[in-house]
Structure 1
């Protein structure tokens, strides 16, 4: 081999990366593992313990719902045995939503069979009843209203309905991170909700309204990620036009994203439950920006990579590894 020959480097290592456990919470890790092994008791007790932190409660609800996919009948049996327990109803509602979307898959509507759509809607109709029951037994809880957003998205509810659900959630917890990010997704053009401009305007207002150091101020990242996906999914445009539009979009929102990132990462800020998801968003959206803005968040992720927004551009773990390893 000549002295100027180079050994070809292989793909970046995925060692140490974990998909979709975007939280820094050992108790939640243990609860998710227990649910996947069929043990619901400890997880239920853990969910009940999150009553005083709405954002942590929302994160636990989402994580346990994902872990319990395929176990909704077990949760139903517990409710039949124990009665209308607020956390059991909330957990079952979230699990049914997750199971419904598993049936539908992430494919475009035109590529989903009529049978899949029928099953999807049937499961969501049941989820709607369960979520409404959760609201009845815990009227001050914001969490069921956030789950309701995803029921409404799946059932094709008009934007006015989503606004009402958002208002109900934020009436109970004004700085509710999950309520704001869910409304961003509900109002995305792919659900026939609104325009890109209106979705981004909502996110800008929410970010500006948030106090320095609060994770709510990062909601702009969700809207920009949705806007990027919208540009890439415009089927009638050529690849060249899509890339040009993507560059224009990225340039327009680069400085606002950096500003919101800096506003969030205050030295004295208190850690919040959704932090790792927000770090994922910034690491993904700022990966090509100078001064290592994306690297700051990538290093704060502890190797925990979220499917979204990384999955919009390829395999999530591989996309992260290509950017930062």
Structure 2
């Protein structure tokens, strides 16, 4: 089911107030990055990234900065002034990708015009040019290889090329979650993959990663993509299956519910994916721990698949917390 599809079900509206979804508000530690970006302050931007202590945090922050409209100007200046540095070019490339994807929209291909595709591909080619340079000069630079997974998908370069790029990333950073999540999208049928490939990749990543890593979130993402590929009623049926429920439980215990799990920028994405998957499947008690962790925050990435999703969020959260 595309994000423009209309979900239907048996939930009752409970009002329009919804959770905090802007990552800069939901994750206060990101606030300095937004301040720097809005001020077009490259020195502060660079300092923010330099202070991050993991490749996962860096890649997440690259993605959220790309969502800030109008930042391409100061990033272009930084890239021109610092031609040997990978960060400004990678940030600029991600911004170009976001501009292009905004023109394309998130609709299925049959609902995108030729003109939209032409502009979309033009922006992605601009990004790809920058990223090719960065990857050639800095072959272990994770954010650039991650961004090239987005351009590979958007430019329709195929499964083999996407997998080649992921393998280059994984050779240096085997458990980098954002890269894994991007390849998972490529492996889904809507991008010429298969459900077998998508689920297999999610399981492989989870089994290879240490306990408490983000990798288990991929299992929830794969099941959500599979379940929500058509209608909400079919998603209810798919996610209600006991084998799917048990798969989700194991993945949650290996990741966001593991004793060694440490919150970083991805924790809201993870708990949101599990909360939604368990809720659609009618497993309210399983969803409760994830809603409790989320509090008044949520990631829109999968909830947006549901029409009027904030109402669904409120209903599902109430049902889950009532089981505690």
TM-score, structure 1 as length reference? 0.85
Query: C-alpha displacement at 1:219, in angstroms?
Result: 1.2
Deviations 1:174-202 (A, max 9, x none): 1111121111101111111x211221121
Cα distance in 1 for residues equivalent to 2:35 and 2:290: 26
Cα distance in 2 for residues equivalent to 1:110 and 1:290: 34
What is the number of equivalent residue pairs in this alignment? Answer: 304
Query: C-alpha displacement at 1:43, in angstroms?
Result: 2.4
Larger Rg over CA atoms: 1
Preserved contact between residue 58 and residue 143 of structure 2 (Cα < 8 Å): yes
Cα distance in 1 for residues equivalent to 2:191 and 2:118: 18
**1:304 aligned partner:** 297
Query: C-alpha displacement at 1:322, in angstroms?
Result: 2.5
Cα distance in 2 for residues equivalent to 1:315 and 1:43: 35
Cα distance in 2 for residues equivalent to 1:35 and 1:319: 33
Cα distance in 2 for residues equivalent to 1:146 and 1:244: 32
Preserved contact between residue 211 and residue 217 of structure 1 (Cα < 8 Å): no
Gaps of 5+ in 1: 1-8, 233-241
Cα distance in 2 for residues equivalent to 1:314 and 1:153: 26
Cα distance in 2 for residues equivalent to 1:201 and 1:23: 35
The RMSD of aligned alpha carbons is: 2.3
Query: C-alpha displacement at 1:208, in angstroms?
Result: 2.4
Cα distance in 2 for residues equivalent to 1:274 and 1:12: 28
Relative distance call for 1:315 and 1:147 in structure 2 (3 A) is farther
Query: C-alpha displacement at 1:128, in angstroms?
Result: 0.1
**1:65 aligned partner:** 66
Deviations 1:55-105 (A, max 9, x none): 1111111111112x3331331122222333211011111111111101111
Relative distance call for 1:23 and 1:294 in structure 2 (3 A) is farther
- 1:261 equivalent to 2:252? Answer yes
Cα distance in 2 for residues equivalent to 1:200 and 1:10: 33
Gaps of 5+ in 2: 1-11, 319-324
Find 1:32's aligned residue among 22, 31, 34.
34
